[in-house]
Structure 1
Amino acid sequence: MSKFRDFFVRNKKKLLIGAGVFLSLLIISFVAFLLNRERILQFAVAKVIKKVESKYPADLQIGKAEFKDFNTVLVTNIALLPQNQPKLLQIDTVEATVSFRSLFLGRMVFKQFDVANGMVTAFKQDSTDNFSFLFKKKGKGEPADTTAKSSNYGTLLNKLIETAFENVPDGVNFRNMGVLFKNEGRTISMNLPTLLVEDGGIDARMTITTDSVTNTMYVKGLIDPAKYLLSAKFYGDSQSGSIEVPYIEQKFGATMRFDTLSLSITDKVYKNNQLTIRGESSAYGLVLNHPKIADENVTVQNGALKYVITLGDHYYALEPESEVRINKAIFYPQLTYETKPSRKIGIKVDSPEIPANDLFSSLPPGLFDTFQGIKATGTFKYKMNFFVDMAQVDSLKFDSDLDAKNFQITDFGPNDLRKLNTEFVHTVYEKGKPVRSFAVGPSNPNFTPFNQIPRYLKYAILTAEDPRFFTHKGFHEGAFRHSLITNIKEGSFVRGGSTVSMQLVKNAFLTRKKTITRKVEESLIVWIIENLRLTPKERMYEVYLNIIEWGPNVYGVKEAANFYFSKSPSQLNLEESLFLASIVPKPKQYRTYFDVYGGLRAYPRYFFKLITGNMLKRGLISSSEHASVSPYVNLNGRAGSFIIAKPDTTQIMDTLQLAPIDLLDF
């Protein structure tokens, strides 16, 4: 210590001079830094203005830019004015914190933003258009080239995600911001009182009005640019209630609302020109309404999707690690879609073992009403595989399997699936509306017991509609696959894939209104009835023949025999049975079957030949019966009066267009 004191005394004058020089240099450097930062700021402002105005036909105006304190920049009165159009953007103030390191390096990098009192007003109506220039090049005024698009949307999306995350500042505070968008009669306005991003946390409140829909919602979330992590939760308050999703009613004729919606990206990997994104989404209190989905509101209390999506060159996939949860039921979907060299579509669905009660309780009300209130024991496991190469449609693959263990129903709830075993009242629906009801059983004089229905009619219908009805358990995958192939080739729905069991369930348990999920509900009912043997096959076929439609307000075999031939069912001959079987797919079109002379046209004659040939091969008719079949029927009943004798001016119908599912022999 004494040595240090002696050294200081001996060198005191030199040390004081050195300290003074250092302090002077520091002061000079600080003054130079203060002067230089202003120059850097003004240079940065001028550079931004020049860049914007050289790229777009618009003027960028900045009222004033200055340092508010040591490292805080205040920019006021910012406006973007398209040439000869209304103002697009106006912001009163922007405060930004500048990185010290960037200033010493001679450039300016902002770490935090505080933006207050701003408005974006975008119009496109008649001659007014103040935002489309953003998508065009300045100079020639021609739109940017959109023809040379990359086929690899994974590459494009990866660039977009990386650009977005790399430019996220450390902190953002938007206060009192607004957006007004008007485009060809459509108006969207948003009021953003506050949006705060701080330490990775997101907190916002906004009110959005789209046409007549107004939502006030809160947003909370997290963002981590280094990990490409983004999550957000959207929800309403106690006063605003559910959030209604706008635009889809006008676009799709649907309505959708939710209590809480969560979305997230948890990871992304770009490798070998493919982008893989992982994330999750969930919804609570989701309500959806669309006539093609269901007749009423569909409610999902708790639904979630864990997704792994891959996008590449002409390739898109929902990977096997994805998971869908609907309340308590879990499924693992896998989708693949390739566009070159040919379109290929693959769909796989798998599930773990799901307790039966969990499955039934998870089916959304409004979507599967038949199963509401049902109780059961045991478990279900489902697997489905579909693949088609559009260049080789005939090689289409389809298989579906629902496996159950120890499955038994303990309570059928309000819809008893055993009702076919006893007399019940059947209601006929037309376009989703009930038009007629009648008893199916002995109390109805038009009811025809199974043993009074002629074998010709029984065999003709089964041969045409479902040859394996008495041996399968409700489904015929080969026939369904063939119908898929036909429909894809024709580009429209021209052939069904329904067995007699499925047609019976559709008529007896469901409305005839076509919805996306009706087929799923129909299939599950068939599976339960067939696998639990709730109703004997003979009784199922008896009910089927007594309720199916056979013409205008003609239901059941007895009404059909009387309407067409003034006979009882037991009196029908082979030709008359073949005719009735031929019109089952489209009974109201029976009048198109006859020519000007009252003879059968090409399709029914083809049908007679094909079906009797198959009946002969199966031993259902003798060789002499087959040889004696005449392509002629005499409509002695009321139906004959509706046949109008006139030349055939209609287009010749493809023989497969009206063909039932099993017209061909599988």
Structure 2
Amino acid sequence: MQKRKIKKILVTTLSVLVLLIVLGFAGFFIFRNTVLEKAISKASHKFEQQYNSEFKVEQAQFKGFSGIELKDITLVPQNGDTLLNIKTLNTSVNVSQALFGNIQLGKLYMQDGYVNLVRNKNGKNFDAFIHAAKDKKKEKTESNKNSYAERAHRLIKTALNLIPTDISLQNLSLRLNDMERKVTINLEELHLSDKQLTSSFLVKEDEKQQNWKVKGMADPRHEAADLDFYNNDSTHIEIPYLKKRLNLTTAFKKLHLNLQEVDMKGDELHVKGYASINDLLINHPKIAKKDVVLDSARFEYNFIAGEHFITLDSTSVAQFNKVTFTPFAKFSTEQDTIYQLKAHIPEMQAQDFITSLPKGLFSHFEGMQAEGSFNYSLDFAYNKNKPNDLVFESTLNKKGLKITKYGAADLNKLNGTFTYRAIENGIRQRPIIVGEENPNFTPLEQISPYVQKAVLTSEDPSFFQHNGFIAEAFRQSIIKNIKTKKFARGASTISMQLVKNVFLTREKTLSRKLEEILLVYILENNRIVSKSRMLEVYFNVIEWGPDVYGIGEAAQYYFQKPPVALSLDESLFLASIVPRPKKFMWQFDKFGNMKPHAHQHNDFIMDLMLRRELITAQDTIGQDGKAELSGTARTRLNITQTDTIPQKQRDSLEIDRTIYDLYNKAY
């Protein structure tokens, strides 16, 4: 009897629950369009209050059980151009997921619309949204203490859930008008069905038109993708807008993106996959004078995020042409904010490395041939709270490495007579013969020892001991550049200056700097030229003033005497102008007297030479660190000048005692 009562109660309760659910669904179906209208009204109010924009949906209704249809959607910032316009949008929501607060789109159909980004003299029509996003990000940073792994996983899951599993898009455009720099990317069609994606884009910029294709597998629910990007006519895909905005040309034949895994393993998020690119072309005046072309590159990535760190794991592999290396990068905030970077190139043939260098980036190496092999390792670590503890170690181990044929830069020419022509602003200057045929050429033994020692003390005290580079100088240079957030100091040795002058140009490009480093390594480590000959050539080719090349011309131009007769004061002056020879006049006042800051600089170098026993106290008798110009150079001092040197020039002559101490130890 008791069991029957319990059963009756359970049946009655279940019936009531079923009835409530049915009534709930019935109520939902009866009032769902009203609920939808209220949701749109709420969204409109939010856009108005937070973004100062008007959001409208002319028609909105439910279709079927979980479908929603919206028509004539617009978003218009106040006093700005229309930001968004969509004629028709149909979508569906996964109801079972929505019950657990997880918004997951199932289908999406969208047709005829555009996103319009405009920047003109009145401002940006999307500016309010950028500021709101920054403020929101700041709030989350200040309030959200979740680990990097949790935040990244939540962001990825949310983004992928918003990508429907079934998509059909037609005639949707992204229009960009940045101060009349106009680009239109028109998505003619995009279809995603059964995890297969196909799409077609028409890209217009001025008179240029491209037809992009994206095709492959996309499975947002299982966090996986395998997509190809290419041009319909097999030509390069050129990224628009960058040329006009940044003077940067970027193009490629084919890009392949693969996402294999997004997995939360305990407290760590793992993201794996790979990317590859073919015929990558880059052109920018700060990179190289001509197109830089990389035939092929591949990157197998394994990102790991934990509670206090984000890392590119060392199991990742990068490859360009025949060069393969393992990168490692880590950002950690557990105790201090630490940045780490490591890279290792396992043993490989030197010739494979040379032929793998991107075309256009190392033009002086084209045609070079080598024997032997090498391996390379880089270790870099920077602690934001302890910048002086910076780690910078660069190690190259070679096995039978030998250059058998030079490319455009024939380093062996330094051993004989050759003609040097400086290039300034792309214009070749007058020819300078480096050899006895030139009456101004001065052998090393005929150059005053004071000049040699003063220049070495100022520019490169350990020249005769190092192999082209001073690792500690590089380290200190990096520290200062990071602290000042600019390239405030280089770490050039005389070897690097010599290579730059004789074989390269004065252009400030990445290409020139990389070539300089590699050429110096080859020059110094293959014993191609003796140190004494390198110094002799250096003194005879560097610029010492306006159209003044070599120490022979400099001694006459400033002091009307041969290099061998230069005094200590005169030598100190010549050493001080090597970094900026055309600005020598700023060291003097309108009466031709050396200014106090220049005098102080020369006294400091003289003191260093004394402490290092390069000169004796007797050498300083009658020398006070001041130089009096008697040559043609003095005529340039007749222009009325103020006694206040511009700050930029003062900074260039300012002594960095730390770097001199480093050179002192190395010497």
TM-score (norm 2): 0.81
Going from structure 1 to structure 2, the CA distance change for 1:95 and 1:466 (only over 3 Å counts) comes to: closer
Residue 441 of structure 2: SS of its match in structure 1? coil
Give the C-alpha shift of residue 243 in structure 1. 1.1
Give the C-alpha shift of residue 331 in structure 1. 2.7
Counterparts of 2:528 and 2:124 in 1: how far apart (Å)?
67
> Aligned match of 1:612 in 582, 591, 606?
606
Give the C-alpha shift of residue 197 in structure 1. 1.6
Q: Does 1:244 align with 2:244?
A: no
Residue 459 of structure 1: SS of its match in structure 2? helix
Counterparts of 1:450 and 1:396 in 2: how far apart (Å)?
39
> Aligned match of 2:302 in 292, 298, 308?
308
Give the C-alpha shift of residue 593 in structure 1. 1.8
Going from structure 1 to structure 2, the CA distance change for 1:377 and 1:159 (only over 3 Å counts) comes to: same
Alignment correspondent of 1:11: none
Residue 150 of structure 1 aligns with an amino acid whose one-letter code is T
Give the C-alpha shift of residue 488 in structure 1. 3.9
Q: Does 1:322 align with 2:337?
A: no
Q: State whether residues 314 and 338 of structure 1, in contact with CA within 8 Å, keep that contact through their aligned partners in structure 2.
A: yes
Going from structure 1 to structure 2, the CA distance change for 1:147 and 1:169 (only over 3 Å counts) comes to: closer
Alignment correspondent of 2:255: 261
Q: State whether residues 75 and 85 of structure 2, in contact with CA within 8 Å, keep that contact through their aligned partners in structure 1.
A: no
Residue 220 of structure 1: SS of its match in structure 2? strand
Counterparts of 1:322 and 1:386 in 2: how far apart (Å)?
17
Counterparts of 2:37 and 2:529 in 1: how far apart (Å)?
79
Going from structure 1 to structure 2, the CA distance change for 1:313 and 1:214 (only over 3 Å counts) comes to: farther
Alignment correspondent of 1:228: 223
- Could you give the per-residue CA deviations for residues 439-481 of structure 1, whole angstroms, max 9, x where no partner exists? 2222222221222222221122112221221222111112232
Counterparts of 2:612 and 2:118 in 1: how far apart (Å)?
70
Q: Does 1:663 align with 2:654?
A: no
Residue 418 of structure 1: SS of its match in structure 2? helix
| More off after superposition, 452-461 vs 345-354 | 345-354
Give the C-alpha shift of residue 579 in structure 1. 1.6
Q: State whether residues 164 and 220 of structure 2, in contact with CA within 8 Å, keep that contact through their aligned partners in structure 1.
A: no
Q: What are the within-5 Å matches in structure 2 for residues 582-661 of structure 1? A: 582-644=576-638, 648-650=643-645, 653=650, 657=654
Q: State whether residues 90 and 109 of structure 2, in contact with CA within 8 Å, keep that contact through their aligned partners in structure 1.
A: yes
- Could you give the per-residue CA deviations for residues 134-166 of structure 1, whole angstroms, max 9, x where no partner exists? 8899xxxx9985641326665444223112333
Give the C-alpha shift of residue 102 in structure 1. 6.9
Give the C-alpha shift of residue 179 in structure 1. 4.7
Q: Does 1:444 align with 2:438?
A: yes
Alignment correspondent of 1:8: none
Alignment correspondent of 2:520: 526
Q: Does 1:565 align with 2:559?
A: yes
Q: Does 1:286 align with 2:286?
A: no
Residue 224 of structure 2 aligns with an amino acid whose one-letter code is L
Residue 407 of structure 1: SS of its match in structure 2? strand
Counterparts of 1:576 and 1:128 in 2: how far apart (Å)?
58
Going from structure 1 to structure 2, the CA distance change for 1:262 and 1:526 (only over 3 Å counts) comes to: same
> Aligned match of 2:532 in 538, 546, 563?
538
- Could you give the per-residue CA deviations for residues 346-374 of structure 1, whole angstroms, max 9, x where no partner exists? 33232111211111111112111111111
Counterparts of 1:150 and 1:562 in 2: how far apart (Å)?
65
Alignment correspondent of 1:56: 44
Q: State whether residues 332 and 338 of structure 2, in contact with CA within 8 Å, keep that contact through their aligned partners in structure 1.
A: yes
Counterparts of 1:487 and 1:121 in 2: how far apart (Å)?
41
Alignment correspondent of 1:30: none
Residue 72 of structure 2 aligns with an amino acid whose one-letter code is A
How big is the alpha-carbon RMSD for the aligned residues of Structure 1 and Structure 2? 4.0
Q: What are the within-5 Å matches in structure 2 for residues 368-383 of structure 1? A: 368-383=362-377
Counterparts of 1:458 and 1:284 in 2: how far apart (Å)?
51
Alignment correspondent of 1:422: 416
Q: Does 1:215 align with 2:203?
A: no
Give the C-alpha shift of residue 574 in structure 1. 2.0
Going from structure 1 to structure 2, the CA distance change for 1:626 and 1:392 (only over 3 Å counts) comes to: farther
Going from structure 1 to structure 2, the CA distance change for 1:660 and 1:92 (only over 3 Å counts) comes to: same
Alignment correspondent of 2:425: 431
Q: Does 1:580 align with 2:574?
A: yes
Going from structure 1 to structure 2, the CA distance change for 1:155 and 1:56 (only over 3 Å counts) comes to: farther
Alignment correspondent of 1:149: 140
Q: Does 1:400 align with 2:394?
A: yes
Residue 141 of structure 2: SS of its match in structure 1? coil
- Could you give the per-residue CA deviations for residues 195-222 of structure 1, whole angstroms, max 9, x where no partner exists? 2222222221111335665431111122
Q: State whether residues 606 and 625 of structure 2, in contact with CA within 8 Å, keep that contact through their aligned partners in structure 1.
A: no
Q: Does 1:387 align with 2:381?
A: yes
Counterparts of 1:309 and 1:444 in 2: how far apart (Å)?
61
Going from structure 1 to structure 2, the CA distance change for 1:209 and 1:41 (only over 3 Å counts) comes to: farther
Give the C-alpha shift of residue 502 in structure 1. 0.7
Q: State whether residues 422 and 430 of structure 2, in contact with CA within 8 Å, keep that contact through their aligned partners in structure 1.
A: yes
Residue 193 of structure 1 aligns with an amino acid whose one-letter code is E
Q: State whether residues 211 and 233 of structure 2, in contact with CA within 8 Å, keep that contact through their aligned partners in structure 1.
A: no
Q: State whether residues 346 and 386 of structure 1, in contact with CA within 8 Å, keep that contact through their aligned partners in structure 2.
A: yes
Going from structure 1 to structure 2, the CA distance change for 1:605 and 1:190 (only over 3 Å counts) comes to: closer
Going from structure 1 to structure 2, the CA distance change for 1:298 and 1:130 (only over 3 Å counts) comes to: closer
Counterparts of 1:143 and 1:543 in 2: how far apart (Å)?
56
- Could you give the per-residue CA deviations for residues 540-582 of structure 1, whole angstroms, max 9, x where no partner exists? 1111111011111111010100100111112212222222112
Structure 2: gaps (5+ residues): 1-22, 46-54
Give the C-alpha shift of residue 515 in structure 1. 1.3
Structure 1: gaps (5+ residues): 1-34
Counterparts of 1:344 and 1:481 in 2: how far apart (Å)?
16
Q: State whether residues 267 and 279 of structure 1, in contact with CA within 8 Å, keep that contact through their aligned partners in structure 2.
A: yes
> Aligned match of 1:196 in 191, 194, 200?
191
Give the C-alpha shift of residue 191 in structure 1. 2.8
Going from structure 1 to structure 2, the CA distance change for 1:480 and 1:602 (only over 3 Å counts) comes to: farther
Going from structure 1 to structure 2, the CA distance change for 1:584 and 1:63 (only over 3 Å counts) comes to: closer
Residue 536 of structure 1 aligns with an amino acid whose one-letter code is S
Q: Does 1:78 align with 2:71?
A: yes
Q: State whether residues 429 and 436 of structure 1, in contact with CA within 8 Å, keep that contact through their aligned partners in structure 2.
A: no
Counterparts of 2:659 and 2:77 in 1: how far apart (Å)?
68
Q: State whether residues 495 and 659 of structure 1, in contact with CA within 8 Å, keep that contact through their aligned partners in structure 2.
A: no
Residue 532 of structure 2: SS of its match in structure 1? helix
Q: State whether residues 148 and 310 of structure 2, in contact with CA within 8 Å, keep that contact through their aligned partners in structure 1.
A: no
TM-score (norm 1): 0.81
Going from structure 1 to structure 2, the CA distance change for 1:596 and 1:344 (only over 3 Å counts) comes to: farther
Q: State whether residues 598 and 653 of structure 2, in contact with CA within 8 Å, keep that contact through their aligned partners in structure 1.
A: no
Higher normalized helix content (fraction of residues):
2
Residue 71 of structure 2 aligns with an amino acid whose one-letter code is I
Counterparts of 2:123 and 2:566 in 1: how far apart (Å)?
74
Going from structure 1 to structure 2, the CA distance change for 1:48 and 1:402 (only over 3 Å counts) comes to: farther
Identity %: 33
Q: State whether residues 75 and 95 of structure 1, in contact with CA within 8 Å, keep that contact through their aligned partners in structure 2.
A: yes
Counterparts of 1:467 and 1:298 in 2: how far apart (Å)?
36
Q: State whether residues 275 and 311 of structure 1, in contact with CA within 8 Å, keep that contact through their aligned partners in structure 2.
A: yes
Choose 1 or 2 for highest CA Rg.
1
